[in-house]
Amino acid sequence: MNIKEEITVIIHTLDASMLKKMFLGGAYRIEAKKEYINELNVFPVPDGDTGTNMSMTIMAAAKEVSALDEPDMKELAKAISSGSLRGARGNSGVILSQLFRGFTKEIVKYETLDTKAVALGFEKAVETAYKAVMKPKEGTILTVAKETAVKAQEIAKHITDFVEFGAVVLEHAEYTLSQTPEMLPVLKEAGVVDSGGQGLLEVLKGAFDAMIDKEPDYEIKPVEKAVKRPAMDKANDIPANITFGYCTEFIVMLEKEFNEDTEREFKDYLTSIGDSIVVVSDDEIVKVHVHTNHPGLAFEKGLTYGSLTRMKVDNMREEHEEKLIKDAERIAREQAESQKPHKDMGFITVSIGDGINEIFKGLGVDYIIEGGQTMNPSTEDMLNAIDKVNADHIFILPNNKNIILAAEQARDLVEDKEIIVLPTKTIPQGISALISFVPEDSVKANEEAMQESLSLVKTGQVTYAVRDTSVDGKEIHVGDIMGIADDGIKAVGKEIDQTVFELLEAIVDEESEIICLYYGEEVKEEEASALAKQVEERYPDCDVELQYGGQPIYYYVISVE
């Protein structure tokens, strides 16, 4: 890396003003690069991805940081730590927040920072993040952070110029990231580096570029100092800034060459009819996202390059009106919750889908956080839910492995209530745990019983692939239907029903007694009923139940007990 050779400025110390500038530079960069980071995810499921989670985590802190006019080091550290901790989403976001937490614990000791102080901050960041993860895995963001800290400690002994220091640290971080596929076979199989590690590298690059006043190679989106309601168009009661009303997505199955010039021409055309444009291509397909008032024009242009599939158009104005209605319902629900009598034990669960929400309510859940797979709730969301539940002991059921750390982080921030996080990784595990609850038993007895119930249920999920990859020895292409079990992808096919049966074959055994199918919002009731009858015929020794889940993304969520 020849960064130092190109720069004549020498920087020996960083004050709070410079550090604020660098932090925002890192935040802006990962926000701009989040979709690229999302594409690195090994599992090709359409969920809340790493780039999105890390971006939303750091941008929560960026809002607090940008509101500080002339902060000292303590004020800046508090804004970074508090904002990222409360805004943390997903495992990658929680780990990033813990890195910031550790780093800020060290820098509050100084008025200005030299390279040795920053190296100590890196070391404290890694120590804090590793402690937050029960089973740290190498080849991830943790490894990139650790090796970066080791290099920083090594060179801080003789390098005092931050430009040279930063160049060497970045070079080593990039090298470590490039080695992650050698540490994790699943990354090597998919042909990608670790997405969380890539996210951390983008933050470091953004901070370095801000320090040396390098012009960024991405569009910076200003961070608002306060959350404001958008101006409304009274005639239509829609946000005045929705210029283009239709969110349009589709995939082009290429039938002719699609090179850089063609892609540029395509993007230029889309820019002429809309905004929020994302065009991602490989040798066989082009994935397209655009906000426009004329979806048909986008489709027609796409047809000039090949045939279309996965066409989807959402009316954003209608979505906004629906949001207003849901917000009103939520406020009414929260008011009703606040008036409930005090009790000993309460429940918070993460859920998505009208049907599954109703099931949880019927099992006695006090507060439902809507989110889950498509949008991981933040630590702040968890804390708000805890405030709403009038109980001394509150069980939280994350129902997603990527939400457990955020729930545990919220638990550690609460002092006036006992919070018990049950590590439920799926919706069926959450339902099984609640069924095991006995109101007359103690908190400890219930925790043990509910924990034990998790091992008695197997989960299957059927969804579609959003990227080409190779996982668990299976070649997967965009649009394929996948059957995912607790321990990985068990089936890949072109038809939903066939994939369901292949998945069931992998998870149903001689001891299985109950099979429950929760069908999603994209599945018609008659289709689900027909499938359930076929399952009954194939597994006559099992009780087969069919429930409306209403979940997006997943055609079926399957519980086997």
Q: Dig out the tokens for 324 from the structure.
A: 């207003």
Angle at which helices 50-66 and 90-107 cross, to 10° = 40
493-531 residue pLDDT tens: 999 999 999 999 999 999 999 999 999 988 999 999 999
CA angle 471, 477, 479 (to 5 degrees): 120
Q: Choose among 78, 159, 176: nearest CA to 119.
A: 159
Tokens 């319902």 belong to 329
Question: Has residue 224 got a pLDDT over 90?
Answer: no
How far, CA to CA in Å, does 474 sit from each of 43, 84, 519?
A: 11, 37, 25
Euclidean distance between CA atoms 507 and 535, whole angstroms? 13
Question: Has residue 232 got a pLDDT over 80?
Answer: no
pLDDT value at residue 259: 87
372-425 residue pLDDT tens: 555 788 899 999 999 999 999 999 999 998 899 999 999 999 999 999 999 999
The residues, ordered by sequence, that sit 6+ positions from 338 with a Cβ below 8 Å of its Cβ are 388, 390
The overall average pLDDT reported for the chain is 86
pLDDT value at residue 465: 86
Phi, psi torsion values for 288, nearest 5 degrees: -130, 135
Euclidean distance between CA atoms 430 and 368, whole angstroms? 12
Q: Are 91 and 197 in contact (CB under 8 A)?
A: no
Question: Has residue 536 got a pLDDT over 60?
Answer: yes
Instruction: Using CB atoms within 10 Å of the CB of residue 437, give its burial: 0 to 12 exposed, 13 to 18 middle, 19+ buried.
Output: middle
Confidence of residue 285 (pLDDT cuts 50, 70, 90): confident
85-135 residue pLDDT tens: 888 888 888 999 999 999 999 999 999 999 999 999 999 999 999 988 877
Q: Dig out the tokens for 479 from the structure.
A: 């649009």
Q: Dig out the tokens for 150 from the structure.
A: 């080791």
Hey, is 350 helix, strand or coil? strand
Q: Dig out the tokens for 11 from the structure.
A: 């920087």
121-138 residue pLDDT tens: 999 999 999 988 877 889
Model pTM score: 0.69
Q: What is the DSSP string of 121-179?
A: HHHHHHHHHHHH-SS--SSSHHHHHHHHHHHHHHHHTT---HHHHHHHHHHHHHHHHHH
Quote the DSSP letter at residue 441: S
Q: Dig out the tokens for 254 from the structure.
A: 């290429």
Q: What is the total residue count of the chain?
A: 561
- Of the ranges 195-204, 226-235, 426-435, which one carries the lowest mean pLDDT score? 226-235
Q: List 89's β-bridge partners, or say none.
A: 378
